[in-house]
Amino acid sequence: MPVDVRDIGCDYYAGSEHKMGGPSSVGFFYGTASRLEQAPSVRAA
């Protein structure tokens, strides 16, 4: 189902395909520039 993040006005949007594609699947994280600039930096383990 297509989602227009600008149309719904969300600050953050995330999705995962891990249940469908197994361990080699993908995910995503969307954030508006203003919100991402305010977020603290994190490092992946």
pLDDT, tens digit, 9 for 90 and up, residues 19-45: 666 677 788 889 999 998 898 888 766
CA distance 24 to 26: 7
Question: pTM for the full model?
Answer: 0.62
The pLDDT of residue 28: 86
Phi, psi of 42 (to 5 degrees): -135, 150
CA distance 17 to 41: 24
Query: Do residues 30 and 12 make contact, with C-beta atoms less than 8 angstroms apart?
Result: yes
